[in-house]
Structure 1
Amino acid sequence: MTCTPHPATFRLLDPHVGWEQPAGGEPGLDGIVGFDDPAGVRLARSGPAPEGPTREQLLPWFPDPRLAPGCGPCAWYLLVPDGPGLLRRDVCTGAWSTVWPPGCDPGLLREPVSVAARGHRLVVVDGDRVLVWRREGEQLAGVIRTDEPRWAAPAPGDEILVACAGGTELRRYDSTGAFRGLLRTGARGEVVGLRAGEGRTVWLLTDEDGRLTIHRGVNRRGGHRSFRVATVDELAAALPPSALVSADEDGFCLREDGPDGAVTTCHTWQGGPRQTPPTATAPYVTGGFFLTGLIDSGISRCRWHRVRVDADVPAGTAVAVEIVVSEDDLYDETDWQASPPGVTDFLVDQPPGRYLRLRLRLSGDGGATPVVRRIRLDFPRSTSAELLPPAYRTDPAADDFTERFLSLFDASLADLDRVIERYPALLDPAGVPDRVLPWLAGLLGLSFEAGWDAGTRRKLLEAAPELYRRRGTPWALREAVSIVFGVCPVIDELATDRRWAWLREAVGSEGPQVSHGTQGQGLGTVRLFSRSSSRFRIGGSALGAAPLRAFGAPDSDPLTAHAHRFRVLLPAGSADEQALLRLVERQAPAHTVGSVRTGGAGFVVGSRSTVGVDTAFVPLPPPVLGGEHPLRLNRDGVLRPGPRGSRRGVGVGVVSAVGVHTQVW
């Protein structure tokens, strides 16, 4: 569709190809990070760690060492080294009081450093020892002595993890102080936060020259733990955040749910009320720039064409691009061309030159940052003006205007070309966004239930060609139910349960052959619908050769009760019967009638029961005489075990009564 004579070449600036950072230590970067991050470059975070999480972000999971959440959403412990020692927050009034009432303080705290709690266990790091209490401080369980402890965390299984100053190794103890072993995390820096999660998972926060890093340790075979770097999102998904929202040198604030909504309360480090909340610091710097080196086109006097910036620009932020083109590395500051405000796609209006230099400026309000994923530089200039007669290009000024004017239409046509090129990808269920799945299903004539997730919808779309090809067969119905509900159903065709006439092969010494004797039935020798075998009739059916039915008519059973009818059986609790019935109606052939059944609590009396669907083996209730529901002897209970005892199963060759001598092993 495009009218350009040939596709232009281009140069990409991204983490995969490179950002062409200036060489030789030339100053060209300030306040921008993420050049090796596939997500893109962005403004640096404020503080000493521009690329890692900030301390304010991690407060809900790694609070100040003097503060620890307790048992319950409103329970907190506060360590006051120069005051009363250890305080506990009242869950009803929100006031702080000492853990040990006056006169009951054991006086064990001498140089407290940090506090931690889990359930009803309380741990305090005090000087060169770790004190462990049970019952929220009522019972001293043990004293752990080690060199320079700084952090401690109670873990599942009556385990205490201790981190010492200046390293990242963890020491394992039990509550009584017995040493269990050493955990080598492999992390660099120093531990500044320690938490134990569910499933014996350990979370570390380390500080390496001002850069904060989260580490997650999981159990491996043999009781060992393997540590790896984790993100804030992983931490938030594994551990629920606490109510701590801010902290500074003067105190901290808790944000908790109240009867009238969320309420923020601020406290000092001595447990008193605080009137002014801590001042929130901006997470990002407000501005930064990046200057590339000389980008070589390899073409002398190259006419650079276009600059395209792929970026996310939230409200309150901005992205600006400046370029300069030269034949060498000599240019003036007034030669720079700046992009219009808010524009991320513009034409190069520069004289021809082999080299291009780009300056990227990011700005924001401190609360958010723009993210630039990629910058594309198109060269040389290639437009549909080259297809015009030479008379339109005799004047250089008019030629330049014509090229830039037609570039507007060429860009629109190029966008249409990209849509057409990517159109086959829109038919790939695995590659389209979730919101496109209903549209793709409409092309294939499928309809989705409201409760189906995106994974189920994608599986149905992938299986649609084979489901359509084999639609109306038991395989297609079974496959559709398996995809939607995750279980393989039992499809019971009712007509196969009756004894109609059939032709079959009899296997003899000379191979398969059609037999008209006792091994098979021939046409003309038996009724297609035998009245004496389809339903029990007095005077016409042999005992045990026909079923007893209390409904329907024997003469019309072959057509009204059994022919073209089937039943879909699923175990109890595996699917919603109404949703299953709607799916069966859409997948079943038009001339058939389908029904569904999910398993219940036991055998279905009076109808067919399928093992695994309608079957449940449960013990008899204990026999109790009298009470609200009196026991009726010989009807509601078993008063004595069988001859082989109450713990024996069904005996082969002896008399066994169901409910008396029966056990399923």
Structure 2
Amino acid sequence: MDVNGTGFVLVIGRTGWLGEGTPGQAAEPPEGLAWHSADHTLRLAQLPFVFPERSGNRRLGPADRRGAARDRYGNWFWIGPDHDEVRLQTLGTAGSTRFWPRPQPCLAAEPPTGDFAPAGSAAPQAQRLAGLAVTDDHHLAVGVPDVPGLLVFDLHAGGPPTTLTWPTALRPVDMAAAPGGGLWILDGTGGPGAARYWGLDRLWRIRDLAEPGEAPPPPEDFLPLPTGSVGGPGDPADRGPGSGNGERGSPAEVATGWAVAIEALPDGSVLVLDRGDPHPAQVLRMRGTRELGRIPLAPIVGPVDLAFLGDAGGVAGTVFVAESQGDQAFALALAADGSTLTPQTRYLPMRLFSGKALVASRDQVHYDLGERWLPVTDRHSPRYVGAASLERGPFDAGEPGTVWHRLAIDGRFPPGTGIAVLSRTADQPDALELTAWREEPAPYLRGAGSEVPYHRFGARGAPDAGTVEVLLQRARGRYLQVRLQLSGDGRHTPRLWALRVHRPRFSYLQHYLPDLYRDDPEAADFLDRYLANTEGLLTEHEGRIAAAQRLLDITSLDAEHIAWLGGWLGATTDPAWDEARSRLLVQHAVELFGRRGTVRGLVEAVRLATDPCPDSTIFDGTPVPGFGVRVVEAFRTRTVSPPATSGGAGAVTSGPRIVGSGARWLVDEGRGELDRRYREFVVARHPDVAALEAVWGRSVAAVDGDFAEPFPPLTPGSHREATERREFMVASLAVPYADVSAQDATAYRGFLAQRYREPAALSAAWGLIGGSQLRSFDEVALPGAAVPSDGPALQDWFSFASGYLPTVRMAHRFTVLVPMSLDSSDAARADRLAQVTRVVEQERPAHTGYEVRPYWAAFRVGEARVGLETSLAQGSRFVALVLGEGRMAQGQLGGGHPWDVPDRWVVGRDRILPRTGSTRTEAGHG
């Protein structure tokens, strides 16, 4: 309701536009209209695009199908153009190589004579191949009609294939990998109209597809007879005929005109593509020998292949069908019960599809262009119906004779589209059907946006989005019904999001003008409608004034005003931020500014700027889970000092005492012990004083030719001497010791002033008497050639050098650790670090120093990633790790069979015991 008391009826959402259908469901759109769930708009229905027939084009047929598949590592396999070889294209390469048969060595011109000849000297006979699939457990199966049977390649172990033979005829038309391992084979032995399909489980046993209660399979049913072992626990070598297991299997007949493709579904059923002839093309869903349904494929003519991409679970998903022109694929939505295929209006062009196969791999469908495999991509080129109409209402005003005011529609109205409004009114709902429709003026796009204060539809600056409005001319009555006529040019459509019908009209003529202006009914009607235009402009401004509080509510404020409201609080939003991030900043600005300069405030500011999906939990104190931004204050990373004395902090370090000499020097051992250890360390490194002076570059004190200098309390100027002193401290001192120089005298005096408060207390503790007593802490000097003598002076010096000075140097410094993904590029990492650096520079306290570093959650304590026995291997899936060009955590390490492969013998996982008769005993198998 606006400031004048005029309310409106709102139509929004699918149910609002289309009305109620079945209980709990909206009705279906009228003919020519469609509901678009992605943006909740009503629009003209989209037409399926059918690529026009090209002159001279040769249609693809079943003979062009050769079979293709992709393994789990991205390598492509397909049957060659002459149907006598298998081609391989490895991941990342442009061309293909022959995978099978393997190239044979050159043979001598004259074959050797006699009883013996080299094994394999005769070239193998060329075999015709038909049908190819890669199973879930990484076997490649290729059909060989002339054997008849299958070649089975173990893609994990490599080596020559195993041949599984069929005692009866087998002509594979297509193959599909069964979920969880195994294979489906479409068999066209009987020719068109007599297709059947076989099922093999993951152990390559023929499945019995007969339904329970059916007649037993005929005598010719069989298990394939392997000529070699597929390898692994329970391999088919132990399950062929004669093994005594008594298992038999049978195929299922498919009553079709011309079956050309088979595809597996997750529930164990299959889809069989029937090309047609004589009936139209269709898809059959089969489970065993039971037909679950036939789904027509009109208007697709002569399809050659299909592929299935499943959704989250069940059989619901999308079926892709390639048409015989080779120019496009059609997408059809398979219902959750598998009973219907609903055509989708997606445009899926295929450039020069040669007909090898449609292959579903990694949530995408691919087709072949020569030796390239390209994804089937949806090209957004929609076609729409030209016009359609929708009726809404009746809307009830509640009072007879109500004057309906205006109608507003939020939506998008591209050039070439239009919308016309017709209305009719009555005081009784039954009278509406007897009332003629009246055409209203053409709606116009409001320049100021919606008539509702602070409501805007569409992005600012979008030329085709906004609110169109029409002033209803003679709509008087309790009930109103409107008809919207949508039109387009075939390439574009109006998109209607919401409709508002305002009533009753607030009449300036009735409220503000004398009765004289209402004497003439015709003139009064015109004047009332004329003044309604002015009323619309003024009411809009009055409404904005009355709803001004919305400008201060960040949850409802328009995006364009967020920066303005943030300016009131001093919160500057980043122009690169999205709307949700900017709203969070303004909403929590007071909390964030109250913690500015603290570790928590810094982490919150960084998370607000960098988290992919920020929310209010950033500011409620919830700990960052695991792998998040961390702020490490430098003083917390200093080496923790153990007690300076063996007796602890309060131990006596002067007077007679028993001192044990440990591996590392403690303060209560005294200065003499420290100097002795230092001299022994230096003498052990240098054979004589002359050599020492040559290395240190200065003269040293010596007694009887032996080095006799004490441990220097300050860092020496000679680099070599300073290095050896540092090595001595690391090896011999029980406490850390900082590099102290003459510039640290002020810090030393400050340390003593904090500890003793008065110079007299310091003099008493150090035993200074007479003229040596201190009158000011400024009289304290750094130790000279040796550390202070035993007692409190020595204790104070090492407390300063090992504890106080490192803490002061690390104060006001911190490191921001930014989590990084191992998969992100160097450019992405650099951008993220730069973004965090900008935030830290703005939010840190002015007196602090910082650094921003990345980190990876790649290593764990107690878990070895790389050991001495590990080698970086090369192969079809592994490449060399080049030092300086890659990161160790991103390299892949070569190894044996994966431990999750169930049908292979894996070293370290499976233990094989000797056979007992014909029974294999397996132990230790997971």
1:362 match: secondary structure:
strand
Deviation, structure 1 residue 7:
2.4
Alignment-derived partner of residue 630 in structure 2: 488
Q: Percent identity?
A: 20
User: In the alignment, is the contact (CA less than 8 A) between 1:192 and 1:207 conserved in 2?
Assistant: no
User: In the alignment, is the contact (CA less than 8 A) between 1:438 and 1:448 conserved in 2?
Assistant: yes
CA distance in 1: counterparts of 2:381 and 2:577, whole angstroms: 43
Change (3 A) 1:364 1:599: closer
Deviations 1:427-478 (A, max 9, x none): 6666678777656554543346688677665554443211222334444334
Alignment-derived partner of residue 250 in structure 1: 325
Alignment-derived partner of residue 301 in structure 1: 401
Change (3 A) 1:597 1:116: same
Deviation, structure 1 residue 376:
1.8
Pairing 1:205-604 to 2, within 5 Å after superposition: 216-218=310-312, 226-227=313-314, 248-252=323-327, 265-267=351-353, 269=355, 283-292=383-392, 294-327=394-427, 328-331=431-434, 335-340=437-442, 344-350=468-474, 352-391=476-515, 392-416=517-541, 441-447=566-572, 459-484=584-609, 486-492=628-634, 538-539=787-788, 540-542=793-795, 543-547=797-801, 562=808, 566-571=812-817, 582-590=838-846, 593-597=847-851
Change (3 A) 1:17 1:581: closer
Give the total of aligned pairs. Answer: 506
Alignment-derived partner of residue 34 in structure 1: 35
Alignment-derived partner of residue 508 in structure 1: none
CA distance in 2: counterparts of 1:620 and 1:140, whole angstroms: 36
CA distance in 1: counterparts of 2:540 and 2:550, whole angstroms: 16
User: In the alignment, is the contact (CA less than 8 A) between 2:421 and 2:441 conserved in 1?
Assistant: yes
Pairing 1:622-637 to 2, within 5 Å after superposition: none
CA distance in 2: counterparts of 1:96 and 1:338, whole angstroms: 70
Deviations 1:247-270 (A, max 9, x none): 54332369xxxxxxxx98425659
Deviations 1:569-592 (A, max 9, x none): 2447669776555434433445xx
Q: Higher helix share goes to which structure?
A: 2
Q: Does 1:106 align with 2:209?
A: no
Alignment-derived partner of residue 239 in structure 1: none
1:12 match: secondary structure:
strand
Deviation, structure 1 residue 180:
14
1:266 match: secondary structure:
coil
Alignment-derived partner of residue 7 in structure 1: 6
CA distance in 2: counterparts of 1:178 and 1:378, whole angstroms: 71
Corresponding letter in the other structure for 2:176: A
Deviation, structure 1 residue 337:
0.9
CA distance in 1: counterparts of 2:574 and 2:555, whole angstroms: 19
Deviation, structure 1 residue 29:
3.2
CA distance in 2: counterparts of 1:434 and 1:213, whole angstroms: 45
Deviation, structure 1 residue 594:
0.7
User: In the alignment, is the contact (CA less than 8 A) between 2:68 and 2:356 conserved in 1?
Assistant: no
2:630 match: secondary structure:
coil
Corresponding letter in the other structure for 2:325: D
User: In the alignment, is the contact (CA less than 8 A) between 2:630 and 2:818 conserved in 1?
Assistant: no
Change (3 A) 1:458 1:134: farther
Deviation, structure 1 residue 378:
1.8
- For structure 1, the residue ranges without an aligned partner over 5 or more in a row are 48-53, 57-62, 166-170, 194-205, 219-225, 236-243, 255-262, 500-519, 602-614, 623-665
Deviations 1:594-627 (A, max 9, x none): 11145699xxxxxxxxxxxxx99999999xxxxx
2:6 match: secondary structure:
coil
Corresponding letter in the other structure for 1:32: L
CA distance in 2: counterparts of 1:497 and 1:28, whole angstroms: 73
Change (3 A) 1:151 1:562: same
Q: Does 1:152 align with 2:277?
A: no
Deviation, structure 1 residue 349:
1.3
2:588 match: secondary structure:
helix
Corresponding letter in the other structure for 1:152: A
Change (3 A) 1:466 1:390: same
Deviations 1:271-295 (A, max 9, x none): 9999xxxx99964333322234644
CA distance in 2: counterparts of 1:97 and 1:412, whole angstroms: 77
CA distance in 1: counterparts of 2:597 and 2:537, whole angstroms: 47
User: In the alignment, is the contact (CA less than 8 A) between 1:305 and 1:379 conserved in 2?
Assistant: yes
2:799 match: secondary structure:
coil
Deviation, structure 1 residue 306:
1.1
Moved more, 133-142 or 7-16: 133-142
Alignment-derived partner of residue 635 in structure 1: none
Deviations 1:5-64 (A, max 9, x none): 4223435364244545899xxx993211329987122222335xxxxxx899xxxxxx99
2:47 match: secondary structure:
coil
Alignment-derived partner of residue 880 in structure 2: none
Change (3 A) 1:176 1:30: same
User: In the alignment, is the contact (CA less than 8 A) between 1:481 and 1:487 conserved in 2?
Assistant: yes
CA distance in 2: counterparts of 1:318 and 1:125, whole angstroms: 58
Deviations 1:468-512 (A, max 9, x none): 223344443344345446413123569x9999xxxxxxxxxxxxx
Change (3 A) 1:442 1:86: farther
Corresponding letter in the other structure for 2:499: I
User: In the alignment, is the contact (CA less than 8 A) between 1:141 and 1:175 conserved in 2?
Assistant: no
CA distance in 2: counterparts of 1:402 and 1:616, whole angstroms: 88
CA distance in 1: counterparts of 2:833 and 2:37, whole angstroms: 52
1:406 match: secondary structure:
helix
Deviations 1:279-330 (A, max 9, x none): 9996433332223464443432332221112222234433333222344135
Change (3 A) 1:547 1:286: same
Radius of gyration: which is bigger?
A: 2
2:848 match: secondary structure:
strand
TM-score with structure 2 setting the length: 0.41
Q: Does 1:174 align with 2:175?
A: no
User: In the alignment, is the contact (CA less than 8 A) between 1:40 and 1:371 conserved in 2?
Assistant: yes
- For structure 2, the residue ranges without an aligned partner over 5 or more in a row are 23-27, 52-59, 103-122, 188-198, 210-263, 275-292, 299-305, 330-348, 358-367, 371-378, 446-467, 611-627, 642-753, 763-775, 821-828, 856-860, 869-926
CA distance in 2: counterparts of 1:14 and 1:437, whole angstroms: 28
CA distance in 1: counterparts of 2:479 and 2:425, whole angstroms: 6
CA distance in 1: counterparts of 2:597 and 2:15, whole angstroms: 50
Corresponding letter in the other structure for 1:46: L
User: In the alignment, is the contact (CA less than 8 A) between 1:323 and 1:337 conserved in 2?
Assistant: yes
Change (3 A) 1:366 1:580: closer
